[in-house]
Amino acid sequence: MNIKYIILLFVLIFFLPMIFGLFRFFLGDPAKKVSPFIAYVQKKGYRLVNPSVSQALGSTRLETLRNPALRNLADASSDIADIDELDRVSGGWLAFTCNLQSKEVTVFNCSSSGAQNSAGTPIPHKVVKIRAAGLPRFSLGKNSIAHSVLDVVDKMVGAPKPAVAVDQRQYPDFSEHYWVRGADAAAVSAFLSPERICFIETAKLPGILATNANYLVYFEDGTLNKEEDFDLLIATAEEIIVGML
């Protein structure tokens, strides 16, 4: 294949989702997107990852596009792109950080261009990433038809995800209702102590827990829109920190 077509394919796969994410953010109504988010951050005394985003309040679309401070925004989703199901996400420019239980926590919305919902649009995620280095690499979630289908597809294309087996005799409920994936099964099994498994069973988290080199991440489908949404996700993050770290 001609090298220029390979380069073009690479750009289409990896960079177009990011470009369209910015395009949707700025050509939509910026005030509607940032107002509840910024109002919550200001009320709680948290810190915006991109403080200049607050300048979009009250601005027209054209003014927002012309604002040089809004052209190089940090994307909070960029450093968790090596986590399964978050490998093709964007939109984390509107994010805030806070300290919970002495841990640095970042909260944001993003959307996945790698998968679409029934309406044919990217799946939205509400995400918490908790800074925690040195954890074994794994992802963990509740069994569902969707993940069963993904497993089948991975096997068909020759890229099955490594599953981590949990002792069914010792943890029958966990084994029945949750899946765990990780390349180093021994390290993951050692990390999933009886106390952590008990926490997961009790908390009944609807989303997915995953790790990379720097973070413990929790994400679930949906969008943070109102104060109750933020409060609930913050409370969940505190539970995860206490129960898993």
What pLDDT sits at residue 53? Answer: 83
User: For residue 220, what are the contacts with CB-CB under 8 A and spacing of at least 6?
Assistant: 125, 126, 205, 206, 207, 208
What does the pLDDT look like over 18-42, one tens digit per residue? 554 544 544 455 545 568 899 999 9
| Cα 61–Cα 65–Cα 67 angle in degrees, nearest 5 | 115
pLDDT at 83 over 90: yes
Instruction: Return phi, psi of residue 219, to 5°.
Output: -145, 150
Q: pLDDT category, 84, cuts 50, 70, 90?
A: confident
Domain boundaries, the chain: 1-134+219-237, 135-212
pLDDT in tens, 123-180: 899 999 999 999 999 999 999 766 655 554 555 555 567 889 888 899 999 999 999 9
Dist. CA 98–CA 231, nearest whole Å:
13
| Strand 95-100 versus strand 103-116 pairing type | antiparallel
**Residue 26's pLDDT is what?**
47
Contact status, residue 112 vs residue 89, Cβ threshold 8 Å: yes
Kindly tell me the number of DSSP H helices and DSSP E strands found in the chain: 9, 9
Residue 124's pLDDT is 92
- The number of residues in the chain equals 245
